[in-house]
Amino acid sequence: MTKIVYVAADGTRTEIEAEDGTSVMQAAVSNDVEGIVGECGGSMACATCHVYVDDAWAGKVGERNPGEEDMLDCAASEMKPTSRLSCQIKVAPELDGLVVHMPEAQF
């Protein structure tokens, strides 16, 4: 299990022990974390799992996947350099303690 910290736009922090191999989106949805919708189930087709990776973790989550940037451009909240679709970040032991910030709106 790997700890993921979700920070809502209003600053509320939620810590989840996520199963390795799942996605940061799926862990949020399975644990009722408000602020991540993940309506398309992780197919990069809806941009409702948009997160800003905390600066301290930006280098560790890896690069955006092909097609991810086009979809981020369709997100409801502004795309920043740290923007990711959380369905594309796989939970793994090296991400223990990962902090992601959720945007104001997902649609």
**Site residues, other proteins (CB under 8 A):** 32, 39-46, 67, 70-71, 73-76, 107
The smaller minimum CB distance to other proteins, of residues 4 and 38, is found at 38
Least Å from the CB of residue 59 to other proteins: 27
What token pair was written down for 83? 């923007």
Least Å from the CB of residue 98 to other proteins: 24
What residues contact 103, with CB distance under 8 A and at least 6 apart?
9, 35, 50, 51, 52, 75, 76, 77, 78
What token pair was written down for 45? 């087709």
CB 42 within 8 A of CB 50: no
Least Å from the CB of residue 75 to other proteins: 7
The smaller minimum CB distance to other proteins, of residues 1 and 45, is found at 45
